[in-house]
């Protein structure tokens, strides 16, 4: 089991460029999440998908779109990158059953927008 | 949005010392999670708490779900160099959508 994988690990974009961050999990989890992490601010939820076919906005969705491609994959797209989107992006997944609320994180994508 | 206040923000200790950190909120949570993040890596789940008053251990780590449901504590006993990293608390609100709220993190540095 690889758990949660993310690609790419590092990316540099120019302002206005677009890109898609990829995330996949092999744990058969129902729910998947995208977070961004900025210094001193902890983790903030961008979008999440409670189950295949559904997506919902989190705390900071502006400037992002997501696609839950299938149960395994959840991608995050930046249509027109801005310097304010320089951050570390983490994908996470959760089984989504019963009382268990444990989320498991990928290794992160470090994005710099110049 | 909802906030968790995690303290301290940073700690500098000697190897072998015990460590305590906590998270508090004005809101009630029905789940508390504690994560550790190593440099350049994603957060790794350490302990999950599901009942008020619950005390759970994972090796040298012990966490407690506060009886008021508004706080949680993490203790590390006899710290070792590999304990270095950032520790995050996360809580699940009873009301509202099923989304975690994260604390700002406690950065732990250990002097050998």
* B28 touches B93 (CB < 8 A): yes
Strand partners, A60: none
Strand B106-111 to B10-14 pairing: parallel
Query: CB distance from A21 to chain B under 8 Å?
Result: no
* A33 touches A103 (CB < 8 A): yes
Contact A105 B102 (CB under 8 A): no
SS (H, E, C) A23-69: EEECCCCCEEEEEEECCCCCEEEEEEECCCCCCEECCCCCCCEEEEC
Q: Residues 5-24, chain B: which have Cβ within 8 Å of A?
A: 6
Question: Measured between CB atoms, which of B41, B50, B100 is closest to A103?
Answer: B100
* B23 touches B6 (CB < 8 A): yes
The 8-class DSSP code of residue B38 comes to -
Query: CB distance from B50 to chain A under 8 Å?
Result: yes
Give the helix/strand (H/E) hosting B98. none
Residue A40, pLDDT score: 73
d(CA A73, CA A25): 7
Q: Is B76 helix (H, G, I), strand (E, B) or coil?
A: strand
Question: Measured between CB atoms, which of B33, B42, B48 is closest to A106?
Answer: B42
Residue A22, pLDDT score: 97
Which residues fall within 8 angstroms of residue A66, CB to CB, at 6 or more apart? A34, A46, A47, A49, A55, A74, A75, A76, A77
Residue B64, pLDDT score: 98
Nearest to A49 by CA among A77, A23, A25, A30: A30
List chain A residues with CB under 8 Å of B1: 59
Residue B44, pLDDT score: 94
What digits encode the pLDDT tens for the residues B93-104? 765 567 788 999
What digits encode the pLDDT tens for the residues A2-40? 799 999 999 999 999 999 999 999 999 989 999 999 987
What digits encode the pLDDT tens for the residues A34-69? 999 998 778 999 999 988 889 999 989 999 999 998
More confident residue, B98 or B31: B31
SS (H, E, C) B38-94: CCCCCCEEEEEECCCCCEEEECCEEEEECCCCCEEEEEECCCCHHHCEEEEEEEEEC
Which residues fall within 8 angstroms of residue A65, CB to CB, at 6 or more apart? A76, A77, A79
Query: Mean pLDDT, to the nearest integer, of A90-106?
Result: 82
Question: Measured between CB atoms, which of A40, A99, A107 is closest to B41?
Answer: A107
């Amino acid at each position: 089991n690889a758990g949660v994988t993310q690609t790419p690990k590092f990316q540099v974009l120019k302002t206005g460029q677009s890109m898609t961050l990829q995330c996949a999990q092999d744990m058969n989890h129902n729910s998947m999440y995208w977070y961004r992490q900025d210094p001193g601010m902890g983790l903030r939820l961008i979008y999440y998908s409670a189950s295949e076919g559904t997506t919902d906005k989190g705390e900071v969705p502006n400037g992002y779109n997501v696609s839950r491609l299938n149960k395994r994959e959840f991608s995050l797209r930046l249509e027109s990158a801005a310097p304010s989107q320089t951050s570390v992006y983490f994908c996470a997944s959760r089984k989504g059953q019963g009382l268990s609320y444990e989320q498991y994180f990928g290794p992160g994508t470090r994005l710099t927008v110049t | 949005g909802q906030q968790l206040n995690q303290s301290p923000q940073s700690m500098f200790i000697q190897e072998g010392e015990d460590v305590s950190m906590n998270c508090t909120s004005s809101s009630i949570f029905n789940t508390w999670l504690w994560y550790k993040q190593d440099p350049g890596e994603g957060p790794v789940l350490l302990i999950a708490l599901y009942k008020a008053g619950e005390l759970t251990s994972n090796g040298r780590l012990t966490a407690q779900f506060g009886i008021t449901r508004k706080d949680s504590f993490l203790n590390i006993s006899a710290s070792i160099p590999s304990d270095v990293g950032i520790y995050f608390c996360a809580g699940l609100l009873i009301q509202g959508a099923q989304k975690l709220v994260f604390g700002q993190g406690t950065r732990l540095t250990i002097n050998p």
